[in-house]
Amino acid sequence: MILSDIPQLNKNTLRVVPLGGVGEVGRNMTAYEINGQILVVDCGVLFPDDHPGVDLILPDYTSLRDRVDDIVGIVLTHGHEDHIGAVPYFLRERPDMPLIGSKLTLAFVAAKLAEHKLTPVLQEVAENQHIKLGEFDLEFIAVNHSIPDALAVAITTSAGLVLHTGDFKMDQLPLDGRITDLRAFADLGKRGVDLFVPDSTNADVPGFTPLERDIYDVLENLIYKTTGRVIIASFSSHVHRVQQVLDAAAANKRKVALLGRSMVRNMSIATDLGYLNPPEGVLVDYSEALELPYDRVIFMSTGSQGEPMAVLSRMANHDHAVIPGEGDTVVLASSLVPGNENAVYRVINGLISLGANVVHKGSASVHVSGHAAAGELLYCYNILKPKNVLPVHGEPRHLVASARLAQQTGVPKERTVIAKNGTIIDLADGLASVVGQLEMGDIFVDGYTVGEVTESDLEERRILANEGFISATLVIDTAAKKILTGPMIDARGFAEDAAVFDDVKPQIVKAVTEALNSGTKGHKELSQVVRRTLGRWVGNKLRRKPMLMPLVIDAKSK
């Protein structure tokens, strides 16, 4: 279904369109529209997997470009990159779109926007606070996650009540004492939730997510047993994990240096705002840490997802002042985001090859998830009793698992919507119905360009990386209908000796000569003759499909 096929939105009907984060883990963004006004919840990024040269992947907000003046605000549920990372790019469409979020969330996003030379319009909110934005009455609810200050948002409109959880779990003994407010959830259940939009990342994991505080003893013991340096990699916004490392370092009389620009920036903000409380004298500058004895230092770094330019990858590639070796312990204190497996294991293998002891979630309890498992979601479904459910934040297996949990608690199957990015759901009279599907794509950030790189460009890059490159140059005289020079063949990314291409040169000469004699004169047509001949030969002889670049030059052209 294309844009023109989408039915007109009726008055007092709420239209819900997930623009990212459905069928994938990342770039979360959902648009809510009623009576001509739009509320956006979250605006995050997806980190690339098989996308050569791409830095970030943004939600496809193309459908909102002509509607930015109708946007009353962007609610940011928490400060993780997959929920705020695309804000600097989306604000280019209209810089004064209000950003609504908690103190820490807005501090993180404001620092990011400053790097993009953007001055945002910020509206700070807190749990138990109500605000009105046009057609939307918003109520913010405390939820526990792997970052402080996360909020769910209850959205009340003339079409009904929606609860959008953002990322959450139900840690009953959180480090900051801030639990998910189940009383508020229960109150919403009594009022009647017309649409529940839950985080579904761990919907296929039985039971309950372990406690964050259980990680401390494991980390402290690893530090105690390590005779050399300790390097701990985590997400740069995981304030609670950094706090545990700082406390464990103090217990073992070690100093901690933060590595990675985002880690240093975020923890500085968290400290200034009182969310991070470093023990006296534990934090030191990187330069000072390099001078300390190996058994007295911990490096807290970025790179737990195998990002090629992050600190941990550079260590594994001998491209950093700190190179882990014998006696050192490297801890990957994070979950493995789907799609990053190969990159992470490549870093692990590199570190092990250097002689370091590498510890990760698969070998020790050094991480707990920030997302509600099946038992927690069942609890929510039971106390909310939602009329309709739209699982978000997950791959298809997570969304289906979440929907099945809803059905087990009594939500009719036809009231559970398994959506894709761009699915259009209308909520009216207590019923959520799929009414259309936007044509969706990817918006790639590649260096300084945004949205200019296409999937076709990426396919060419993949071919170059996997299949190689061959150029074939000929100089011809179209008037005399003969080849003056060539073909000269240059190949890159081939192990074979250059002489192997001697077999195809006569075939190219024959094909081009026949084309000239038949009256073909155009450069484009003759280049296609070379491309077809060379491509067919390479496919049959070398079993490859490289990028081919034929160049036909007419010596007589002016």
pTM of the complete model? 0.82
CA distance 196 to 202: 16
Q: Look at residues 303, 263, 258, 311 and name the one whose alpha carbon lies nearest to residue 285.
A: 258
Per the listing, tokens 């939820």 go with 143
Give me the pLDDT at residue 484, please. Answer: 82
Coil/strand/helix, residue 124: strand
- pLDDT, average across residues 381-393: 97
Provide the 8-state DSSP code for 440.
-
Backbone CA torsion sign across 344, 348, 351, 353: negative
* In contact, 434 and 423? CB cutoff 8 Å: yes
Q: Look at residues 465, 479, 533, 529 and name the one whose alpha carbon lies nearest to residue 501.
A: 533
Average pLDDT, the chain: 89
CA distance 521 to 527: 10
pLDDT tens track for 394-404: 999 999 999 99
Q: Is residue 6 packed enough to be buried (19+ CB in 10 Å), middle (13-18) or exposed (0-12)?
A: middle
Q: What tokens were used for 477?
A: 């005289």
Give me the pLDDT at residue 556, please. Answer: 67
Q: What tokens were used for 461?
A: 């890059």
CATH 3.30.470.10 for the 455-554 domain, yes or no:
no
pLDDT at 181 over 80: yes
Give me the pLDDT at residue 193, please. Answer: 98
Q: Where are the alpha helices (DSSP H) in 39-146?
A: 81-84, 87-90, 103-115
Share of the chain above pLDDT 70, in %: 91
- Residue 509 CB contacts under 8 Å (≥ 6 apart), including other chains: 483, 487
pLDDT at 462 over 80: no
Share of the chain above pLDDT 90, in %: 63
- pLDDT, average across residues 466-474: 80
Give me the pLDDT at residue 48, please. Answer: 66
Question: Distance from first CA to last CA of the chain, Å, rounded?
Answer: 50
CA distance 363 to 374: 23
Q: Which CATH superfamily is domain 214-360 in?
A: Metallo-hydrolase/oxidoreductase (3.40.50.10710)
Give me the pLDDT at residue 177, please. Answer: 92
Q: Kindly report the number of other CB atoms within 10 A of residue 295's CB atom.
A: 15
* In contact, 199 and 22? CB cutoff 8 Å: no
CA distance 126 to 73: 16
CA distance 367 to 207: 17
CA distance 236 to 259: 9
Give me the pLDDT at residue 123, please. Answer: 97
- Which H or E element spans position 231? strand 230-233
- Please report, for the chain, the start and end positions of each structural domain, with discontinuous segments joined by +: 14-207+369-446, 214-360, 455-554
Give me the pLDDT at residue 448, please. Answer: 62
Coil/strand/helix, residue 118: coil
**Strand blocks (E) in 248-327:** 255-258, 297-301
Q: Is residue 497 packed enough to be buried (19+ CB in 10 Å), middle (13-18) or exposed (0-12)?
A: exposed
Q: Look at residues 107, 123, 145, 146 and name the one whose alpha carbon lies nearest to residue 272.
A: 107
Angle (CA) 23-24-26 rounded to 5° is 140
Angle (CA) 542-544-547 rounded to 5° is 125
pLDDT confidence tier of residue 84, bands split at 50, 70 and 90: very high
Which CATH number is associated with domain 14-207+369-446? 3.60.15.10
Give me the pLDDT at residue 436, please. Answer: 93
- Residue 343 CB contacts under 8 Å (≥ 6 apart), including other chains: 305, 306, 307, 308, 313
**Strand blocks (E) in 251-340:** 255-258, 297-301, 329-332
Q: What tokens were used for 495?
A: 């192990």
Q: Which residues pair with 69 in a beta bridge?
A: none
Q: Which residues pair with 299 in a beta bridge?
A: 231, 257
pLDDT tens track for 100-139: 999 999 999 999 999 889 999 999 999 999 999 999 999 9
Q: What tokens were used for 88?
A: 């600097």
Q: What tokens were used for 91?
A: 């604000």
pLDDT at 179 over 80: yes
* In contact, 298 and 249? CB cutoff 8 Å: yes
Give me the pLDDT at residue 342, please. Answer: 76
Low-confidence winner among 22-26, 212-216, 387-391, 465-469 (lowest mean pLDDT): 465-469
Q: Which residues pair with 20 in a beta bridge?
A: 29
pLDDT tens track for 250-268: 999 999 999 988 899 999 9
pLDDT at 4 over 50: no
pLDDT confidence tier of residue 558, bands split at 50, 70 and 90: very low
Give me the pLDDT at residue 317, please. Answer: 86
* In contact, 425 and 15? CB cutoff 8 Å: yes
Q: Which residue has the higher pLDDT, 453 or 268?
A: 268
Give me the pLDDT at residue 51, please. Answer: 60
pLDDT confidence tier of residue 491, bands split at 50, 70 and 90: confident
* In contact, 123 and 140? CB cutoff 8 Å: no
CA distance 282 to 286: 12
Provide the 8-state DSSP code for 275.
S
